Amino acid sequence: MDKDKYIGRLLDGRYEILEVLGVGGMAVVYKARCHRLNRLVAIKILKDEFSKDEEFRRRFQAESQAVAMLSHPNIVSVYDVSTSEDGDHIVMELIDGISLKQYMEKKGVLNWKETLHFAMQIAKALEHAHSRGLVHRDIKPHNVMVLKNGSVKVTDFGIAQVTTKSSTVTKEALGSVHYISPEQAKGGRVDNRSDLYSLGIVMYEMIAGRVPYDGDTPVSVAIQHINGGAQKPSTFNPNTPLALEQIIMKALQLAPKDRYPNATAMLYDMDEFRKDPTKVFPEAAGDGEAEGRPVTTDRKTGVVPSATRTIAQRTAMERTGKVRTTPRRDEEERGRGATVAIVTCAVVGVIAIIIFFVILAQGGLFGGKDRIQVPDLRGMDYDSLGQIDGIVVVRQSSEHDPSYAKGQIISQEPAPGDWVVSGTKVFVTVSLGGEVPVKTMEDLTGYTADDAALFLRGLDMELDVKRYSVNSDTVEAGKVVSTEPAQGQTITKGQTVELYVSIGPAVVTKRVPNVVGQNVEAALRSFELVGFKNVVPKEVESDLPKGTVVEQSAKENTLVDVSRKIILSVSMGPAEPDPTEPTEPQEVTVVYHFPLPEHTEPILLSILSGDEWIVEDEEVPAGDNSYKVTLTGTGSREYHIYVDGEYIDTVTVEFV
């Protein structure tokens, strides 16, 4: 596999790319180190195949501008946005945690407290984003990170869009099909309430352990979203509190106008339920009539307008009797109410008569040609059912049940004996047999990741094996550091097993000291004190004294991985002379006193050596019998003495 071209690069002169964290539809997310602030970050870089596509670049840049507007504890922070020759990229905080999807896979069905805890934080993040005009459009557990302290952060605004009055999906329904709203599935207009629908799906999955709509193809799931009719979460988890179920089902209404008008209203009901888990909201229509308007109260009366009241607000008003208090209009209101009641009763009566005659025309009120009674499928073998007149049997889940043999139907919805329209789908749960097979987890540490996965598949337990990269100072890269479940713990059929695979030691960077000119031993100590572990001296020719550092391979004051190899070029010292080669004699300096003849008068002295006059017409006082000269030369040399222009004598000087 070719190495990623960004690994090891330094973007914008400060972000060193370390490894790939994940790959999305438009971009790749990398782990990187900011050398300026010495911290780890996540960097999202637009994929190469889209870098020349102006439409994709526009969407990517729109994301950058959108997320830069957000600042909330439940939204991943954006540190920097850059469009340069290195590529369009966003620098974000690096989250130390796992996705909500991974958390759910690990824990299974969540209790109502955890469900509410996570849901309220997601809703607060959406409330902030919506207040900035931003619709996420891809809310799903994969895009929610769970930190070690239990808080969550919403991430990946990769398909988010700043809303306008004409915001529509013109190409395709975006987002993950199990979580998209009906309007997204139809390619219709998307607004804040679409995010609340997706949040409702996430809450449903947390409390029920499954999504409300599933199928063999994305298209079949999308059609279910469009048709609606999700079963209540309590169908799958009887411990679901009624009020929480009401909140979820309100968020999942087909028509946006029937959902919560905004995240603030949804948070209000969540908080009411949090304060009183036993409460039950009254069933009432019109909760979504606000069309996205914020929840406000009338300034004069303090009453919340009916179109924007939450379930909880209407309950509180009924409890306290808060009504309009204008006496002059009481009689008028009573008269109008009576008129409305009469008209309503008349309309209902007409509709009832029409329905009666339609049913009668179709063959009677009960047992007509288009209505059938659901047969009891429990105990039947699902694979041997064949076609059953009037209903479509759909396998929705499987579970172990010692009361039923493998393949037999355990339960069904609608229930046996219910009257349904011909062609209705009957959802069944199929037995996987008796007790869940259990085995003990082996010690897989030190195995390569591929060998460990191969071993687990060989257990015939239908295990879902997932791999995660971790740093390790002791385990070789590519080998298993630990597993979850750990050695000795039990594993059951179909369980998720996590392999934590070493990617080598964590990257630690330090500033490189300047050791040029130092003795090699002192230089090595300097690097050791800073924390560098792989500094190697290498001898080179140099006129500098032996052992002196001439050059270092890492530039001084730069941040470098402490495990990186750094070479110090060390002088071998000046070259030794070759005893076999002739050497030039060394010049010697001597002081020589040239003898002079006796004279009673001053004389003019000249001394000649070869072609060079050492002394020329120098006056010597009367009576001096010698003349001192400093000479430099090698071997022996002759000097000729002249007095008053006449040759007097020749003297040989030895330079020793």
HEC per residue, 167-228: CECCCCCCCCCCCCCHHHHCCCECCHHHHHHHHHHHHHHHHHCCCCCCCCCHHHHHHHHHHC
Structure confidence at residue 306 (pLDDT): 38
Structure confidence at residue 365 (pLDDT): 39
pLDDT digits (tens, 9 = 90+) for 579-608: 776 677 788 999 999 999 988 999 999 999
Q: Domains in the chain, please, with CATH?
A: 10-93 (3.30.200.20), 97-320 (1.10.510.10), 371-431 (3.30.10.20), 438-502 (3.30.10.20), 509-571 (3.30.10.20), 588-655 (2.60.40)
Structure confidence at residue 146 (pLDDT): 93
Quick one: which of 511, 502, 503 has its CA closest to 561? 511
Collapsing DSSP to helix, strand or coil, 269 comes out as helix
Options 2, 4, 96, 138, the catalytic residue: 138
| Terminal Cα-to-Cα distance of the chain (whole angstroms) | 76
Beta bridge mates, 588 = 633
Structure confidence at residue 461 (pLDDT): 81
Low-confidence residues in the chain, pLDDT < 50: 1, 159-175, 284-309, 312, 314-333, 335-369
Q: What is the pTM of this model?
A: 0.46
Collapsing DSSP to helix, strand or coil, 56 comes out as helix
Amino acid, single-letter form, for residue 622: A
Structure confidence at residue 301 (pLDDT): 33
Structure confidence at residue 66 (pLDDT): 66
Is 138 tagged catalytic?
A: yes
Structure confidence at residue 404 (pLDDT): 87
Radius of gyration of the chain from its Cα atoms, rounded to whole angstroms: 45
Whether residue 372 contacts residue 419, with contact meaning beta carbons closer than 8 Å, is answered with yes
Collapsing DSSP to helix, strand or coil, 22 comes out as strand
Whole-angstrom CA distances from 62 to 66, 120, 165, 463 are 6, 27, 17, 41
